[in-house]
């Protein structure tokens, strides 16, 4: 009988899941992981990007966040094409709200980077509270790639729930 090898993505999910067994910690992660991703994308998005003249009026569509998105989606694609496609949708929604924050800033609201820093700090406080409840240190302290795994770890549960193979 042939033994089926586990895919790399499943190995990573198993390892990530080891420190996410407590129900309260899982709920906190469902709230805080998307907020961390959103705020990190917003912070990187706000780093000034050089003007590239040949892009013309489309220059504003390219920023450092574009590179973060490309890198992340490529990494996700190497693990699971389906999860990478789902992340493109999630990132698209996040990008929409980052642009809304830019409009709010232009209308006299707070600076986008400041909103993102506040969200980032509060979400990480939530994460550490969750891990205190769990009684285990966060996975990323062992391996930084687990910072990238959190969002697709959540998505894989949605895939399982609706019966979508990932």
Res 141: pLDDT: 67
Residue 1 lies in a domain: no
| The two structure tokens encoding residue 32 | 């805080």
Q: What is the pLDDT of residues 29-56, one digit of tens each?
A: 999 999 999 999 999 999 999 989 898 8
| The two structure tokens encoding residue 153 | 């770890």
Residue 32 lies in a domain: yes
* Model confidence at 84: pLDDT above 80: yes
Residue 39 lies in a domain: yes
Q: Which domain holds residue 35?
A: 8-15+22-48+61-159
Identify which of 43, 30, 37, 33 has the alpha carbon closest to the alpha carbon of residue 117: 43
Helix or strand run (H / E) with residue 92: helix 81-106
Residue with tokens 């996700």: 76
Q: What is the mean pLDDT of residues 76-87?
A: 98
Domain tally for the chain? Answer: 1
Residues 154 and 83: their CA atoms lie apart, in Å, by: 10
Res 77: pLDDT: 98
Q: What is the mean pLDDT of residues 64-89?
A: 97
21/112: higher pLDDT? 112
Residue 42 lies in a domain: yes
Range of weakest confidence among 31-40, 59-68, 69-78, 152-161: 59-68
- Band (pLDDT 50/70/90 cuts) for residue 2 is low
CA separation, residue 150 to residues 86, 103, 147 (Å) = 14, 29, 6
Residue 112 lies in a domain: yes
Chain mean pLDDT for the chain = 93
């Amino acid at each position: 009988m042939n033994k089926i090898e586990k895919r790399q993505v499943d190995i990573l999910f198993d390892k990530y899941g080891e420190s996410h067994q407590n129900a309260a910690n899982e709920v906190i992660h469902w709230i805080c992981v998307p907020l961390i991703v959103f705020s990190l994308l917003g912070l990187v998005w706000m780093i000034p990007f050089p003007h590239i003249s040949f892009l013309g009026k489309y220059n504003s569509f390219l920023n450092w966040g574009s590179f973060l998105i490309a890198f992340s989606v490529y990494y996700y694609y190497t693990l699971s094409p389906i999860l990478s496609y789902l992340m493109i949708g999630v990132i698209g929604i996040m990008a929409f709200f980052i642009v809304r924050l830019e409009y709010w800033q232009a209308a006299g609201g707070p600076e986008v980077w400041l909103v993102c820093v506040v969200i980032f700090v509060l979400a990480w406080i939530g994460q550490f509270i969750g891990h205190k409840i769990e009684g285990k240190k966060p996975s990323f302290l062992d391996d930084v790639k687990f910072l990238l795994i959190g969002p697709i770890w959540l998505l894989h549960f949605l895939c399982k729930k609706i019966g979508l193979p990932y």
